[in-house]
Amino acid sequence: MRNLVLLYILTLSFTLFAKVNPHEVEAFITKTAEQHQLDADEIRRILNHAEHQQSIIDAMNKPAEKVLEWYQYRPIFITDKRIQEGVEFWQNNADVLHKVSNQSQVPVPIIVAIIGVETFYGRIKGNHKVLDALYTLAFDYPKRSVFFSKELGHFFKLAADGHVDALTAKGSYAGAMGYGQFMPSSYRSYAVDYESDGVIDLLDNPHDAIASVANYLARHGWQKDQPVVAKASKPKSKTKLNQLKPHLKDKKGREYTLIGLKTDEDNMAYWQGFHNFYVISRYNHSHMYVMAVYQLAERIQSEYNAANASTQNEAQQ
């Protein structure tokens, strides 16, 4: 019996280890070293610290956007606490937010709301080691292994350039990092060194994060003073709902997509999503995510204005 138990343990250990093919890892090392001009031995040394995490695979298979309806999803993000802390984040970083907004043309409330939805203004950035997350998904998540292999390569380049610590950086189960939850490729493409100190720190520097979120949206085509959504009536025909890219036209000639979301088990509400709706969706390809960002931004704007008006009234008394 003891021998059978030992055999079972050994078999289980081998099965867990075998989830990552060492030949694929070695091929990745060679390719990444050549592509990003990195030291292959250094990549290998760091990868020796990576651990496969089954919980990451499980999380990837059950994202909230795919298992929740809008009336279940919305209360996660549109809360009094998240609104109030959004106002406080705005107040604490007002100079940077307004300067960045003026340069990028992206409204302050949208920048704040994205950071609020992503990480509760930097409080919840993720507890997974980014190295473990990307290693697991690159070598044990076949349907997106190509994507995550590339992200792992970008992560090594970020580390080599001194922007992150490959062994200690933490983020989401998908490998997104910092206040705005940037994937490594987005980090390298859109992140901004606000202080011009030579290091782009999205994990601990809110100013770099603010500038980077705004730059991401600006580079994806944000249109100044244009709407994100507008309320709509129930469609008379069988219009396909919740496509992200605008493909219909309203009476003003504006392109939009029709969004339909369940407000409870029996009822639906509808919105027109315009070009800026699509721009926000480039950050997260979910119509519910965009609506959460938009509605949180609206509430933060309202509360921020009220707080400012109250302060001005007190000063005049």
pLDDT in tens, 204-217: 999 999 999 999 99
Number of DSSP helices (H) and strands (E) in the chain, helices first: 15, 6
Domain annotation covers residue 310 = yes
Domain annotation covers residue 290 = yes
Sequence-separated (6 or more) residues with CB below 8 Å from residue 97: 90, 108, 111, 112, 210
Distance CA 250, CA 297 (A): 25
The per-residue pLDDT for 1 is: 47
Query: What do you get for the CA distance between the two ends of the chain, in Å?
Result: 85
Selected catalytic residue, list 24, 42, 65, 118: 118
The per-residue pLDDT for 106 is: 98
- pTM for the full model? 0.90
Query: Which of 219, 250, 282 is the last residue in one of the domains?
Result: 219
CA distances (Å), origin 141, targets 144, 169, 280:
6, 21, 27
24 has catalytic annotation: no
Domain annotation covers residue 212 = yes
Range of the structural domain that residue 307 is part of = 64-122+225-316
pLDDT at 8 over 90: no
**pLDDT by residue (tens digit) across 86-101?**
999 999 999 999 999 9
Tokens for 311, please give them: 């302060």
Do 148 and 247 belong together in one domain? no
The label of the residue with tokens 């997974």 reads 128
Do 148 and 293 belong together in one domain? no
Query: Which of 199, 219, 239 is the last residue in one of the domains?
Result: 219
Do 36 and 177 belong together in one domain? yes
The distance from CA 242 to its chain's CA centroid, rounded to whole angstroms, is: 19
CA 216, 80, 230, 108 dihedral sign is negative
Query: Which of 202, 219, 236 is the last residue in one of the domains?
Result: 219
pLDDT at 292 over 70: yes
Q: Which comes out higher in pLDDT, residue 146 or 310?
A: 146
Q: How confident is the model at residue 317 (pLDDT cuts 50, 70, 90)?
A: low
Q: How many domains does the chain have?
A: 2
The label of the residue with tokens 């490729």 reads 185
Domain annotation covers residue 19 = no
Judge contact between 118 and 212, C-beta under 8 A.
Answer: no
